[in-house]
Every structure is written in structure tokens, then in C-alpha cells.
Structure 1
């Protein structure tokens, strides 16, 4: 049975914005990022991988024709420099305010830059992200006032979108899928957009992303000697 707010795969919603989109990507200071990966990759490689994930995520997003710009919210100077070099706009975070406050602030910045544009929050840990799949998700999200995509585990959220004039109302962290459903956001069907759902928090998540094919920066930072063998994403 379909849960309230969930969109069946064969349903289309009312006409809405199709883009171009402004995306907001949050990133913790690298020494604190991806703490659950430490056991799998070690304490030295963990922050380097966190940055690589974000670089591959932002690069793929900026390659998506439906995306106008990416606003990264971070207080990490190394990450800010690296992601700015890719073409992202970087704004400082307020560390004590938390993830959802950072996303709401980033959405305000994005809308100040481009009034009238739809806005979406996107996780920074999607190293296998395909621009074509992201475009498909945004196309579906644009049919509704607010919409979201659950993660591969169907517990969390990797993308939350809001039409012009709609508050983003992010509720990321932990079991955010149910919180976004309860908030009235429409759930985007998961079929055919696996790369947009494949966030990386654990060693098992990383292996799954590698099997999909990760971007070049993640592949470069994952040691050749570590199983599974690196797989580099090519094409869209």
C-alpha cells in the first residue's frame, strides 16, 4: 500500500517548475566528516575521501543540464577552495546551528542569487552520481511543491526539492524519509535513479558505490591495493 505523500511510478502530478535548478550541498569540516567510514578506510584516508565524494558530487551536479548552479555550505577552507574551483558558490556554515539550518540558509542564498528558481538540497556523499539520473529526479520533483528521494536504505533522504515560493523545510538526519513524508513532501519513485540514492556512510556503502562506478576524484583517492578494485564512472 502506498504511504501518504508517496508518488506511484505511473502517476504524474500538476504542472510545475522544471528548472534550471539551484542545488544546495552541505559539507561538514573534513576532520569531522564521514566518521562512520573510519573503521573501513582508516583515519587518514577518511577526510580525503569525504572531500573526494563532495568533489565528484558537485562536478556531476554541475554537469546536469537541469542545474543552474550549486551552493555549497561549509566552513572547511580546503573543501571551499576545491569546490569553488569546480564552479560551485561556497558560503560559510554556522557550525552550532546544525545540518538543517545550514540547508535552509543555503536555500535562502540560492534564492537570493536566482529569484524564482526551484531549489533542492543534495547530499555531498554521492560519488557515483550520474548527471542524467539527477536530471530525471529533478524533472519529477519539478511537478510538485515539495518532493524528496530516499536513500538506498529507504531510511534517509538524499535529495529534497522545493518549487519557487515554497519553503524547503529540510528534516535531514537519521530516519528523514518518514519525516519528509510526514511534512507533506511527495516521494519520488526510486526506479532508475540508483546513483542519486547511493550515499556513502559505511564501508559497505563505499563498496556499493564502487560497483556502480565512482567519479575520478574518489577513484584517485581509493588505494589500488584496497578491495574492491576501483571502478571509474564514465559518461552520464
Structure 2
């Protein structure tokens, strides 16, 4: 069974509002990066036929269309559940018996194989859902052919979906499909799982300390692919560090590409990010 996924995304200017205290001006960019990594991983899943993104944001629409998603405007403009019903109708236009699943747009650590396991479980039921990592919300709601999606997202949606008769998916080892991001704490948890490239560029990626001078508080790190990237005293100070030993695992955020790439901050794995 090949699924059509419906991914809703608010306009970037208002998306991920609970990240605002920690992310500041990075918040719209993070919202887009989360969606890009979500859509890219979903499109790479062997159980997914296509991805429909429902959004009125032109920047997000263009970026996600470049990843192969079909982008449709949020014509109802009546909230999340209305947008999901609209996307499901678009997927099933003309009476096509298409299995449809609503997927959260803020799953930056999403793994295609884990999503495939969830959808394989969903294919055994008429309607089914996967609770989020917090255990109160929902990150995926699926409807097999012949069954309406009937989304009930918002607030305690786990209880709402269960009360509606949807089967709760309890598959193991699908943490990346459950890890949505609303707060800085959520983002740190996603980073520990390992986020996709778009989110990693903005929110931080893992590296290994390579060189360090205590006199200049500068040095370099090695990315996991072996690429050396320099950091200066400002990047070192931004991470709240006092000392750094070559060989230590660190978390970094970078800007630029190729030879112009530089570290904006670096910190130890056990330290919180200056998100």
C-alpha cells in the first residue's frame, strides 16, 4: 500500500510560536527547515507515493515544491483540521481510493524507515494514529481507502483520536516519527536523535573538536564527514565553554557553504544550545 501524506504548514511568520523565546529571529527559518527535513524524509519513504503540503506561505511552498511535494493553498483558512481535510480531499479527488495520512510538519529527525514501519502498521486498520513523544498529542493520523481521515488535532489529540475509534499505533523504534518540536527542549531532544540537513544548518549539528588555542579561544572542528571547519572566539564564547580538548564531541551551528563555511557557536553535547 502506497500512501499520500498530507503535511500542513502555517505561514512562517506565525509558525512555531512557542519557540520564539529561545529562537528569536531564527524561528521562521527553523519552521521551514523542520518542514523541509520532514518532507524530504517522507518522500524518501518506500511506503509513500506522494506528499501534499497545505500552506499559504509562498516561500515555504516554493522550498517544499523543490523537494517534490505538491503544494496546495489553504483555501479553507479555518485552522489545522480544516486544512488537513482539504488536503485529503485533494488527494482523493475524483473518487480515487487513496490511503491518506496526515503528518506533522515539525519532525526534523524523521527517518524514512521508521515512517515506513508506522505506515505498515496503519495499513492493517481503517483509521489509526501515532501519539507524539509527549504522549498527549498526535504526529500521524492515517486513513485507509474507504475511510475518512477525520482529523482531531490540537490539544489532547491523542485522547480525541482514540475516542473517535482510531487505532493507536504502538510500534517500537519509531522515535523519529513521534518527535515533533514545539519548544527548545523538544529541539534538543530532536538534535540528540539526529536532525536532517536543513535543521542541522540552523539548529546545530554534531562534530569533533580538532584544534583549540586557549590564548585565542579559536580552533577548528571536524564534521562527521571529515571536513574541517574553523571557529573563532565569538563562536567559542557563544556556547558557554571555558575549555575544549581535541577529540571532544561538540554540537555546532554553521553558516555559509564550502570554503566559506564557519561555526557560529559550539558547545558540549551535555550543554543546552543557545538556540
The more displaced of 104-113 and 75-84 is: 104-113
Aligned match of 1:138: 119
Cα deviation, residue 215, structure 1: 0.1
- Match of 1:71, SS state, is strand
- Match of 1:106, SS state, is helix
Q: Is the Cα contact below 8 Å between 2:117 and 2:171 reproduced in 1?
A: no
Q: Please, which runs of 5 or more residues in structure 1 have no aligned partner?
A: 1-18, 232-236
Q: Distance in 2 between matches of 1:34 and 1:95?
A: 21
Which is bigger in relative contact order (C-alpha 8 A, separation at least 6)? 1
Q: Aligned pair in 2 of structure 1 residues 202, 60: CA closer, same or farther (>3 Å)?
A: same
Aligned match of 2:150: 169
Q: Is the Cα contact below 8 Å between 1:65 and 1:135 reproduced in 2?
A: yes
Cα deviation, residue 169, structure 1: 0.2
Question: Is 1:48 aligned to residue 70 of structure 2?
Answer: no
Q: Distance in 2 between matches of 1:20 and 1:146?
A: 15
Q: Please, which runs of 5 or more residues in structure 2 have no aligned partner?
A: 206-234, 240-249, 254-275
Aligned match of 2:110: 129
Q: Rg bigger for which structure? A: 2
Deviations 1:41-76 (A, max 9, x none): 11x100000000000000000000000000000000
- Match of 1:134, SS state, is helix
TM-score norm. by structure 1 comes to 0.86
- Match of 2:251, SS state, is coil
Of the three residues 5, 16, 21, the one matched with 1:34 is: 16
Cα deviation, residue 112, structure 1: 1.8
Relative to its length, the structure with more strand (as a share) is 2
Aligned match of 1:6: none
Q: Distance in 1 between matches of 2:106 and 2:53?
A: 13
Aligned match of 1:188: 169
- Match of 1:33, SS state, is coil
